[in-house]
Structure 1
Amino acid sequence: MKSQFRFFQSAILASIFQASEALVGLSWSISNTPETGLQDITFPISMPNAPHVSGYYFAQQFNFKNQSNVGYTGLQPREDVESSSVIHAVFSSFINGTTSTDSNCKDGADGGAGVSCAVDIDASYEHGYHLKVNNTGGTTWSGTLIDAVTKNETHIGAYTLPEGSGGILGTQVGFVEYYPWNSQAQHSCATLPQTEVTFGIPTTESGEAGSLEEPYEYGDCLNEVNFATTEVDDGYWIAVGFP
């Protein structure tokens, strides 16, 4: 049964990652999601052993009721600046008709329709981070980065979905992507840089239980990128690439 479920996950990913180099996928879900969808969801992600180099995107996707396309939120490592570590947080919509007046946001998402919001912060890689997506009224949604240790909150961005969009549906998939390969006609799987990340179990203020399925490899480097995963207390640790 699990192998059939993973095949279904891969089919979902194949329809979404038309132009991205996803390496690992994992499914999340929230039990007893209301018919109208969730009004908030929080995705924990930590990357204490990820190199401070641009290239990787650790993200969770989500769907809104009455919309076929998705939103993303996640973290990307960045190079240190004057000995300070930098984390890039992202909050995006790929839904046609999404609008935003937020200074952290711009029109378009990966060359297509939607809105992309992002912020860079000086932050410790030793801390875990919570990426919260919540409704702020009508069809407007906000993305927030929360330091799990200090509880400091950083606004990533906000956007408004087309009229008729509902709440967040109760299941989708996340991914680990090495995005420099998106702009390369060819790439060698054996040259993938090493990284590590832990995806935590999603939560919602509605109090319903969240869960994660075991991560699995995805993409054209299947079985060639030194993939490893282990279940931990609060989710799954993932490693890919070569030192």
Structure 2
Amino acid sequence: MKPTASFLSVASVISLLPTAKALVGSSWTVTNVPSTGLTDITFPLTIVEADHISGYYFAQQFAFINSGDVGYTGLQPRPNQNGKPVLQGAPRRTATAPLGRTAVQVKRNGSSVWVGTAIGTVTGARVHIGSYTLPAGVGGIQSRQAGFVEWYPWNGGEPPNHCARLPYQKTLFGHPYTTHLGSVGTQSLAYEYGDCVGQVAFKKKRLLIGGVENNCGFKGQTGV
């Protein structure tokens, strides 16, 4: 995925989001970002309700200064292990114990190494979920991008009447934040896109505690 010059409208943000089987998008912005970019950003991201099966990917994208590429991080539900719910973090698929209310952080650790961490915002638990090294000359994180909700098993082929088979999910995307003084993050209201628009009982709302909530799909469905 390549970033465009403008992120000021829903239409321009949609062009950045996965064109595979993503369903929901939600753009974000951060004010007062230095010209060199941010050295860290944290995305509150809580899966309020979803079956304990593989398939959903809840993610946030971010772009870097002096780079045409887009990174992403997020959470994926997995089947229970030993009777307990499991989440996996991305970019590296490392199984983690449930963390309750969660956030995912991307932070520079040195000049070119960036580290992803899943955080339990109530428990304080921190789980390393991946890291990578960027080329020399690439700066920090830019001031805006977008998140998404994807049902990725359909990327390999769809069952008949696939939209009606989408499992139910409810997710909270909180306002992003950073340690850079004076910067304030905002998560915009979610919207539908893709080939199931108007067919998956999509709903959205702003939350008094900050951020936005979205839900879609149907309880009892498994996507197949």
TM over 0.5: yes
Structure 1 residues 134-173: aligned runs within 5 Å? 134-173=107-146
Aligned to 1:26: 26
Query: Which residue identity lines up with residue 195 of structure 1 in the other structure?
Result: Q
Matched, 1:240 2:201: no
How big is each residue's C-alpha offset from its partner over 1:94-146, in whole Å with a ceiling of 9 and x where there is no partner?
Answer: xxxxxxxxxxxxxxxxxxxxxxx22111215xx11111100011111001111
- How far apart, in 2, do the equivalents of 1:38 and 1:186 lie? 42
Question: What SS is found at the alignment partner of 2:149?
Answer: strand
Query: Which residue identity lines up with residue 174 of structure 1 in the other structure?
Result: G
Aligned to 2:168: 194
Aligned to 1:222: 197
Structure 1: runs of 5+ lacking an equivalent: 92-116
Aligned to 2:4: none
Question: What SS is found at the alignment partner of 1:144?
Answer: strand
Aligned to 1:55: 55
- How far apart, in 2, do the equivalents of 1:183 and 1:12 lie? 21
How big is each residue's C-alpha offset from its partner over 1:16-66, in whole Å with a ceiling of 9 and x where there is no partner?
Answer: x24x21100000010011111000000011113221111100000000111
Matched, 1:71 2:66: no
- How far apart, in 2, do the equivalents of 1:22 and 1:118 lie? 19
Aligned length: 209
- How far apart, in 1, do the equivalents of 2:210 and 2:52 lie? 24
- How far apart, in 2, do the equivalents of 1:73 and 1:12 lie? 15
Matched, 1:210 2:185: yes
Aligned to 1:119: 94
Q: Pick the aligned partner of 1:10 from 14, 38, 49.
A: 14
- How far apart, in 2, do the equivalents of 1:185 and 1:199 lie? 27
TM-score after normalising by structure 2: 0.89
Structure 2: runs of 5+ lacking an equivalent: 1-7, 220-224
TM-score after normalising by structure 1: 0.83
Query: Is 2:51–2:167's contact at 8 Å kept on the other side of the alignment?
Result: no
How big is each residue's C-alpha offset from its partner over 1:4-25, in whole Å with a ceiling of 9 and x where there is no partner?
Answer: 8222222232xxx24x211000
Aligned-pair Cα RMSD in Å:
1.4
Matched-pair identity in %: 42
